[in-house]
Amino acid sequence: MRARAVTAAASAAAVLLTCAPAHALPTMIRLGYTDCASCHISPQGGGPLNAYGRGIDAAQSLSGGEVEPSPDTRLTQTCASTCRNRAHGRPSARARTSSGRG
pLDDT for position 31: 79
pTM (global) more than 0.85:
no
d(CA 57, CA 8) in angstroms, rounded, equals 42
| pLDDT tens by residue, 34-61 | 788 888 888 888 789 899 888 888 877 7
What is the number of alpha carbons within 13 Å of residue 15 lying toward its C-beta?
A: 6
Residue ranges, the chain, pLDDT below 50: 102
